[in-house]
Amino acid sequence: MYKGVALSVMASCLFAVMYYYTSLLTPLSGEEIFGWRMLLTLPCVTLFMLSSGDWKLARALALRVRQAPALLAGMALSATLMGVQLWLFMWAPLHGRSLEVSLGYFLLPLTMILTGRVVYGEHLSHLQKIAACCALIGVGNELLRLGSFSWETLLVCLGYPLYFVLRRKLKTDNLGGLWWDMLLILPVAVLFICQGNPSVVEQFPRFYVLIPVLGAISASALVSYIRASRLLAFSVFGLLSYVEPVLLVGVALLLGESIGRDEWMTYLPIWLAVMVLVGEGAKHVLAQRRRHRA
C-alpha cells in the first residue's frame, strides 16, 4: 500500500512538473509540444507493457477489431476525446489558462459522481450530496459572474466522464485500450510536428535535451500512475487523485496567474466540496482497515 501511495503521489508530482515544463519549451506551440509528447511516450509505454505482460491486452483488442471492424470507429472517438484532453494540458500553461484547467480537474470528481448517478443509477452517499451542494454554490457564483464556465473548465470536467463512459461501453477500459488510444492519436501528433517550424529546434539547441526529457517525464508519470492503480484499493487511489489539481493550481500561480477577488466564491466552495469527498474517502479507507484487522 505504501509503495502504491508513493507511486500515486509521484505521478501527480510528475504531471505537475510536466505542466510547468511546458513553459520552458517556448517558442514551440502547444500543438508541437503535444505531438512530441505523444511521439516519445508511446514507445516507453509499449516497453512497459511488454515487460509487465500487459501486451496481451493490446493484442486482444486488435483481434476484436479484426472480428468487428465497426469497433474501430468507437475507438477513434475514444482516442479523439483523450487526445483533446492531452493537447489542452500542453496548451493551457502557454496561454495563461492553467487556473481554468485546474478548476476543471477540481470539478471532475463531482461530475464523475453525477455521471455514475445519471448513467449507471449509482446512489449518492450523504457526504457526496453535501459535496455536490457545496460545488453547486461555486458553480452558481461562476454563472452569476460570467454567465458560464470557461470552455477549458467544461472540456475537462465534462470531457473525461464522456471518455470513461465510452471506454466502458466499448469494453476498452484497460491498459490495452489506452495503448490503442495513443496509437490512433499518433498520426495527428506527427502532423502537428511536421506543421511546426523545424528551424525553431535548430535555433534553440536546448530543445535537443528538453524534448526527450519531456517524453521521459510523460512516460514516467503514466507508468507510475498505472502501477499505483494496481497496488492500491480503488477508494485509496481515488482519494489520491485530488493531489494533482492542488499541484496544478500551485503551478498556475507560479506561472504568474492569480485568483481574482470575485473568483474566490467559485474556488472556495468547490475546494470545500473536494475536502468533503476526501473526508469520505478517508473514512472509507479507515473502515476497510478496521475490517481487515478484525
- Per residue of the chain (294 residues), what is the pLDDT tens digit? 677 778 888 988 998 999 899 888 888 888 999 999 999 999 988 998 899 899 999 999 999 999 999 999 999 999 999 999 999 999 999 888 988 898 888 888 778 878 888 888 877 778 878 888 888 888 888 778 777 788 999 999 899 889 988 988 999 988 899 999 999 999 999 999 998 877 777 788 888 889 889 988 988 888 888 788 777 765 566 667 777 887 888 888 888 888 888 888 888 888 888 788 778 777 877 777 787 776
What residues have CB less than 8 Å from 112, skipping those under 6 apart?
Answer: 160, 161, 164
Say how far apart CA 33 and CA 196 lie, in whole Å.
10
Residue 213 is placed in which grid cell?
526529457
Other CB atoms within a 10 A radius of the CB of residue 281 amount to 20
Say how far apart CA 177 and CA 60 lie, in whole Å.
10
Angle between helices 126-146 and 98-120 (to 10 degrees): 130
pTM listed for this prediction: 0.82
